[in-house]
Structure 1
Amino acid sequence: MKNFGTYSKDDVVFLLKDISSLIVEEGNKEREMKIQNGSHYSEMIPIEYEVSEEYLKLYKEKLETNKDELAYAIGVMSDKIIKKNGEDVVIVSLARAGTPIGILAKRYLKNRYNLDLPHYTVSIIRDKGIDINAIKHIVENHPTSKLQFVDGWTGKGTISKELDKACIDLENIFNKKFDSTLAVLADPAGYSALYGVREDFLIPSACLNSTVSGLVSRTVLRDDLIGKDDFHGAKFYEHLRNCDESTNYIDTIYNCFEGQYENIDKELENWKEDIITKDGDNDVSRIKEKYHIKDINFIKPGVGETTRVLLRRVPNKILVRDINDESLRHIFILAKEKNVEVEEMDLKGYSCCGIIKNMRDM
């Protein structure tokens, strides 16, 4: 699909089926009840609203504050991609958090090295795998190229593990090697072997939903909507066009690249490879035990995942390493707006964690 979302087709090609007229959004509470009663999260999409004026102001402040660090992290990640793969590589972003990161990687490499790499967005869904039809499209159009998968951040490594399984399946289907190394901007969980930074810092695109992702929904896989030859589906949120921040987000970080070249080069001077540490596992285990959580999917660690819990799930409570951490102000605003308890906990790998409410306890 070449004309979808609000990004330029020079930035990304969405390999998604437009199901805008075929699916109705559902409220967070309604979706949470369905998910906890056995429905899969990929069978529905949330209602997306304009955020409050206070929250949007905070998002813009965070983008302004973090733009240089974001440009640095993008540059480090992008240079590692080329050092690892060479120049015959396709950027494959995982929808939807990976899309703006993939666009920025493409722009960085074009701006700095005049490398115009192909960039696609494809769907991967927990417990259901990657979109085989989308990968087939890429392989057929770029038969000699390596595929580099890109996402925004690692939460607790769920998508990294899903990608490991998917690449084994892809090798059997296409009879060629697929590298499951997931390139990410931030890797607080220690699950990426190709990251920009390891700290759990706020990527502003985690603050918003579709309005910083080309007005595209999270991806959908449902038998009545997606045929066997279709790409996974997504909705375009036309009604949010007047508050779309997607292009401004990309341009703001892009304009900081050149100022970070020296810092990026210093970081990469002796780089050979990144080591997977799985540092986040200890935090997740302690949270699971302390709060008697049976389903690990109720635990969403890291600033990006915590933000998403507050935006589109039904949160039980929010854990933070430091209740006075000014970098988590957007978390505190959302928690206050939704009347969600915030509690301090001695977290090691993450700055915060969202815990989803068990609807059976209501």
Structure 2
Amino acid sequence: MTFSGSYAPDDVTLLLQVVDMAPTPVAEKEQLIQSGKLHYSELIAPEAAPTDPYMAIYQAALAENVPLMAQSVVALAKGIAEQIAGEITLVSLARAGLPVGVLLKRALTQLGRNCHHYGISIIRDRGLDHVAMRHILANHASESVVFIDGWTGKGAIAGELADAAPACGIAAPRMATLGDIGGFAWMAPSDTDWLIPSGILGGVVSGLVSRTVLTDRIKESGGYHGCTTLPHLADHDISRAFVDTITAQFDWTTPACDPLDDATRTQRRAKVTQTISTLSDRHSISNLNRIKPSLAEATRAVLRRRPHMVYVASDTAPDTAPLMHLIRERDLPYKVAPEMIPGYRAVTIIQKTS
């Protein structure tokens, strides 16, 4: 059984199985993950409705960034259309990739291209959902596939995709994102850490589905990776409104973006590697999963993890306003230190529990 979450069925087909999983309190979840007792994919944190003040900040961020996001989607769609002949199969990585994939599917359809869009799971250290990929490749040519994510932070998911995709039938996976600070994507219109509006919300902008999960029970079922649905957030859901708002602002004068060349990729990766190394040395971090770089990742970490420190490039700039609201609301430690996080506007360091 497939479904589309709270998106329109024409926008996406989610190759996920809905499971019943009780949320684990954040402190307990953190201890279980860091102790190695459970993998993060075996747990779900509670997801509360965004507060009215936070949504007001989100709406301001959306109004400010709608033109850039619409232009970025069109640039990506045109670039993908130039690189792929025939049908195009978008495979969004749930859940951050879902809003972007929906928008790209709409843009490519408006360009007159035959485009299909699926949402599937990829899990760090566990790989791509091979059952979902088997379904996709039974119906579409491997050369038509482009993986979609919202952004790249320090390249963890891009690395996972590169490692896992060949076993699923994609020898050289192509990943397109809106932002690619570290040179990890195949194609991206920007290398700056800009405020992607959908990146600072969770399920209410991603079809009312949770982060994907993979428990022993799910593995034994032989089906797709799992997710939970979020009916308690239905009154706050803006998934369709968000993509409708961006779609209405598509600017078809925007030029196509090109795939990244090796020199650009090397230059970007060197900058990111240095930033991560500096932070890991400063905080004596051996597990780099505790470092969550980029505005989107830093914000999401504050929402569902236990932060030790948040670094921001500015505590007064509009693009850090949503994150600073959460920091002040939760009385979290932070430092304004742009020199510590070159290339990024924010980085969250997860608290060590063991």
- TM-score, normalised relative to structure 1: 0.92
1:322 aligns with 314
Label 1:213 to 1:54 Cα distance change in 2 as closer, same or farther (>3 A).
same
What is the SS of the residue equivalent to 2:150? strand
Q: Is the 8 A contact 1:319 1:354 kept in 2?
A: yes
Following superposition of structure 1 onto structure 2, how do residues 26-175 of structure 1 map, counting pairs within 5 Å? 26-38=24-36, 39-111=38-110, 113-143=111-141, 145-171=143-169
Look up the match of 1:305: 297
Deviation digits for residues 47-67 of structure 1 (CA, Å, limit 9, x no counterpart): 111111100111111111100
| Cα shift readout 1:87-144 (whole Å, capped 9, x = no counterpart) | 3220000010001100000001112x12240100010000000000000000111146
8 A Cα contact 1:88 1:145, kept in partner: no
Q: 1:87 and 1:328 mapped to 2: Cα distance?
A: 41
Task: Work out the CA distance in 1 between the residues paired with 2:96 and 2:350.
Answer: 20
Give the aligned residue type for 1:297.
Answer: N
Cα distance in structure 1, aligned partners of 2:165 and 2:230: 31
For 2:13, the equivalent position in structure 1 comes to: 13
| Structure 1 residue 272 displacement after superposition | 6.1
The Cα shift of 1:179 comes to 2.8
Q: 1:291 aligns with which of 272, 283, 288?
A: 283
Contact 1:18 1:233 (8 Å CA) reproduced: yes
- Residues of 2 paired with 1:159 and 1:245: CA distance? 26
| Comparing 79-88 and 325-334, the one that deviates more | 79-88
8 Å contact from structure 1 (residues 78, 105) kept in 2: yes
Over 3 Å counting, the alpha-carbon distance change for 1:144 and 1:325 in structure 2 is: closer
Residue pair 1:75, 1:196 contacting (<8 A) in 2 also = no
Q: Specify which of 303, 310, 334 is matched with residue 326 of structure 2.
A: 334
**CA distance in 1: counterparts of 2:4 and 2:207, whole angstroms:** 8
- Aligned letter for 1:104? L
What residue identity is the alignment partner of 1:14?
L
Whether 2:227 is the aligned partner of 1:234: answer: yes
For 2:9, give the aligned amino acid: K
Partners of 1:204 and 1:92 lie apart in 2 by: 21
| CA distance in structure 2 between the aligned counterparts of 1:6 and 1:116, rounded to whole angstroms | 23
CA distance in 1, matches of 2:176, 2:4: 24
Q: Secondary structure in 2 aligned to 1:148?
A: strand
1:174 corresponds to which residue? none
Amino acid at match of 1:261: W
Aligned AA (2:252): Y
Question: Residues 358, 83 of structure 1: CA spacing in aligned structure 2 closer, same or farther, 3 A cutoff?
Answer: same
3-state SS in 2 of match to 1:118: strand
Work out which of the residue numbers 328, 346, 352 in structure 2 matches 1:352.
Answer: 346
1:281 aligns with 2:279: no
Structure 1's unaligned 5+ residue stretches are: 172-176
Aligned-partner SS, 2:189: strand
Deviation, structure 1 residue 357 = 0.5
Between 1:115-124 and 1:142-151, the stretch displaced more is 142-151
Instruction: Sort the Cα spacing of 1:242 and 1:357 in 2 relative to 1 into closer, same or farther, 3 A.
Output: same
1:206 is paired with a residue of what secondary structure?
Answer: helix
| Paired amino acid for 2:150 | G
Gap runs ≥5 in structure 2: none
Residue 222 (str. 1) matches residue 215 (str. 2)? yes
Report the TM-score, using the length of structure 2 for normalisation.
0.94
Give the partner amino acid of 2:344.
Y
**1:288-326 deviation digits (Å, cap 9, x = unpaired):** 111221211110000010011111111111001233323
Change in Cα spacing, 1:84 to 1:291, as seen in structure 2 (3 Å) is same
Distance in 1 separating the partners of 2:62 and 2:204: 14
Alignment RMSD:
1.5
The 2-side partners of 1:118 and 1:73 are apart by: 20
Q: In the TM superposition, what whole-angstrom CA distance separates every residue of 1:56-80 from its partner, at most 9, and x where no partner exists?
A: 1111111111000000111111211
1:189-228 equivalence runs, <5 A:
189-228=182-221
3-state DSSP class of the match of 2:218?
coil
- What amino acid sits opposite 1:74 in the alignment? V
Give, in whole Å, the separation in 2 of the partners of 1:189 and 1:16.
Answer: 29
The number of residues matched between the two structures is 346
In 2, the alpha carbon distance for the partners of 1:211 and 1:226 equals: 27
C-alpha deviation, 1:3, in angstroms: 2.6
